[in-house]
Amino acid sequence: MRSITSYFVRPLPITLSLAACALLLAVPLPALACGGLFCQTQPVEQNAERILFEVNPDGTVTAVVEITFTGNASDFSWVVPIPDTPEVDVVPQSTLSLLDTATVPQIIPPPTTCTGNLFPPMAGGFENSDSATLAGDDDDGVIVEELPAVGPYDDIRVVSSEDPGALIDWLQENEYLITTEMEPFVANYVEQGYKFLGMKLNPTAGVQDIAPVKLTFTSDQPMVPIVLTSVAAEPEMGVLVFIAADQRFEADNFENLVIDVADVQMNPRTQQNNYYALASKIIDEAGGQAFITENAQSALNASDSVSGIFLNTADADEAQSYLQEVLSRRSYLTRLYTRVSGWEMLADPYFQASTGTDVSRFLDLSDRPAVEMCAPSTSDSRKPCGDMYCGVGATCATTDDGVDGCICPAGTVARSISAPLGLGRGVTRTVTCQVTSHDMMASARSEGTAPQDPCLNASCGENGQCVDTNGFPTCTCDDGYAAVTDSLGSLTCSKVRTEFSPDAIRDWQRGCSCSTAAGSEELSALALALALLLPVVARRRQSS
């Protein structure tokens, strides 16, 4: 078992803001994916990763990394530290979306019954053989190799230096935001002798042409260098890892978990479920360094699942063909998932072969008591705080705005993040509590080189205060108030009605175990339904 090295370092896209630049990192021998995002004009919000590793019998690993960029095509730049010059290619854009859809966990809902007639029942590869061209050693001690263009990418270069300072200077001169807090992360990899692969979009390509990048090189085992990702990671960032190999894989230096079906909750009447909130909670209970094995099955079964998925995308057939080719070469596919915040990214997760057995992606709740579908009942209501996790030491509460919010403990602030609403329910905005000590923009702020204060365009309402934390607007709320978010990510502090124990995520049969500020523990079904239709109004202060 590899020791954890301490550095002070449902599936979602990576979203980069204007002029964003991605930085994907690797360390010695293990195959790489993921990384940190930097941008000269403003911090970049990274809210998820999807990576497919293929463990090859010739001692190499192929990593397919999804990149999603929002901004101007001319601003796109992607850099990844690598142990040596790799083979570089692209795969169809829909590849990871298709694999994700074909293997995502599914809940088999509790049975339903209908004793009236009010409502009807509800059922619930392309190898690159061109060689690199050595461009030479520049005046600053940085060696640049030029690689052939591939897909929508050109200006592909491999940059190396023996001097961390020279490499950091090069990044800064090429408009990457490297603050004092970030320099040790970059230097750590440079000092190990690794090169940096960089690429941009060719002049005729647009953002819509960005495709997953495929890298193949010598490696002992797959790894995700999340240490540097801590620079720009959104709290509770999802990391989804697929490993195609000849046996099951598991985390090496992180804890390995599985979801206990007994803790999974779902209301077949509303489709509300607690899957992602539960995942966040059990990962935090493991110290924030754990992966959940969501699915482990033969490659043949996975290939059948891929064949049965229809994606309405132009490259769906090409994506399916690519995945079926991979799955025909390997005999097993493992799907691992974690949700991790920047302050928890203290080590890079490695993955190793496992002797474990298959893990089904189906979570069977069919042995639960039947849910009445046709008569009005409390099951009509959304379970308050049943699918919301606010973080370690934080509590969830219902509020006067009719939505759940977070009460954050000392040393943390509330932040609006993107998150899965639940299995099969898409993406939403939610609130989590972010540790204030994790701030990579502190030195830039004190030196006057930080981007514009994000609180100039944000407010937490009359009962809260906006705080610039790591370059993003966060809120501290007055006593008796909880932070809530609207669909656009604006936070406000709303009066608490009922506060719930974190155990409300696991056990929907028990009600409030904390305090109540209003008369009832739950809004009636009708009142709550009406409240959910109302937008959350952000009460903004006039800037002085």
Query: In sequence order, what are the residues at sequence separation of 6 or more whose Cβ sits closer than 8 angstroms to the Cβ of residue 527?
Result: none
What pLDDT does 209 receive?
Answer: 86
Lowest mean pLDDT among 13-27, 59-73, 79-93, 188-202: 13-27
Share the mean pLDDT of the chain. Answer: 79
Q: Give CA–CA dist 468/475, Å, rounded.
A: 9
The per-residue pLDDT for range 66-86, each reduced to its tens digit, is: 876 666 777 777 777 777 788
CB 456 within 8 Å of CB 540: no
State how far the Cα of 153 lies from the Cα of 235, in Å rounded to an integer. Answer: 30
| Other CB atoms within 10 A of residue 503 CB | 10
Percent of the chain residues topping a pLDDT of 70: 78
Are 217 and 399 in contact, with CB atoms under 8 Å apart? no
Q: With 0-12 CB in 10 A as exposed, 13-18 as middle and 19+ as buried, what is 255?
A: middle
Write the DSSP symbol of residue 493.
Answer: E
pLDDT in tens, 351-404: 999 999 999 999 999 999 988 877 666 556 789 999 999 999 999 999 999 999
Q: Identity (one letter) of the amino acid at 111? A: P
Q: Is the pLDDT of residue 147 over 80?
A: yes
**pLDDT tops 90 at residue 260:** yes
Residues ≥6 apart with Cβ < 8 Å to 314: none
CA 187 to chain centre: 25
Check the CA dihedral 333-339-342-347 and report its sign. Answer: negative
**What confidence tier does 339 reach under pLDDT thresholds 50, 70, 90?**
very high
Domain boundaries, the chain: 21-124+138-362, 382-533
Query: Is 50 exceeded by the pLDDT of residue 318?
Result: yes
DSSP label at 109?
Answer: P
Q: Output the six-digit token pair for 426.
A: 């898409």
Residues 6+ apart with CB under 8 A from 462: 493, 539, 541
Q: Is pLDDT of 513 > 70?
A: no
% of residues, the chain, pLDDT over 90: 46
In this prediction, residue 176 has a pLDDT band, given cuts at 50, 70 and 90, of: low
Summarised one tens digit per residue, pLDDT across range 28-37 is 344 544 444 3
Of 86-100, 167-181, 235-249, the range with the lowest mean pLDDT is 167-181
Distances from the Cα of 217 to the Cαs of 144, 153, 191, 298, 352, in angstroms? 19, 19, 20, 25, 17
Q: What's the CA gap between 475 and 235, in Å, rounded? A: 14
Mean pLDDT of 495-522: 69
197-205 average pLDDT score:
85
DSSP per-residue codes, 17-81: -TT-EEE----SSSB----EEE-SSS---EEEEEEEEEE-TTSEEEEEE-----S-GGG-EEEEE
Task: Decide: 404 and 394 in contact? Cβ < 8 Å.
Answer: no
The CA radius of gyration of the chain, in Å to the nearest whole number, is 24
* Residue 177 pLDDT greater than 50, yes or no: yes
CA dist 3 → 253, 347, 349 (Å): 6, 9, 10
pLDDT tens digits for range 1-14: 443 332 222 232 33
φ and ψ of 447, to 5 deg? -90, -5
DSSP state of 89: E
CA distance 157 to 198: 5
**Residue-level pLDDT at 327:** 98
Closest by CA to 76, choosing from 34, 20, 125, 118, is: 20
Amino acid at 163: D
Range among 299-308, 501-510, 513-522 rated most confident? 299-308
What's residue 378's pLDDT? 57
pLDDT at position 361 is: 95
Helices in 387-472 by DSSP H: which ranges?
442-447
Amino acid, single-letter form, for residue 406? C
What pLDDT digit, counting tens, does each position of 401-453 carry?
A: 999 999 999 999 999 998 887 787 778 899 999 999 988 888 888 888 777 88
Burial class of residue 534, CB neighbours in 10 A (0-12, 13-18, 19+): exposed
Contact 113, 228 (CB under 8 A): no
CA distance 388 to 79: 35
Region of residue 454 (left: phi > 0; alpha: psi -120 to 50; beta: else): alpha
CB 239 within 8 A of CB 288: no
Specify the range with the lowest mean pLDDT, choosing from 66-70, 330-334, 342-346. 66-70
In angstroms, rounded to a whole number, what is the distance separating the alpha carbons of residues 446 and 453?
Answer: 12
Looking at residue 421, its pLDDT comes to 76
Query: CB-hemisphere CA count at 13 Å for 119?
Result: 16
DSSP state of 445: H
Task: Inform me whether the pLDDT recorded for 125 exceeds 50.
Answer: no
Residue 414 pLDDT: 98
Asked if residues 221 and 349 have their Cβ atoms less than 8 Å apart, the reply is: no
Q: Token pair of 538, please?
A: 């952000």
- Judge whether residue 526 has pLDDT over 60: no
- Cβ-count burial of 87 within 10 angstroms (0-12 exposed, 13-18 middle, 19+ buried)? middle
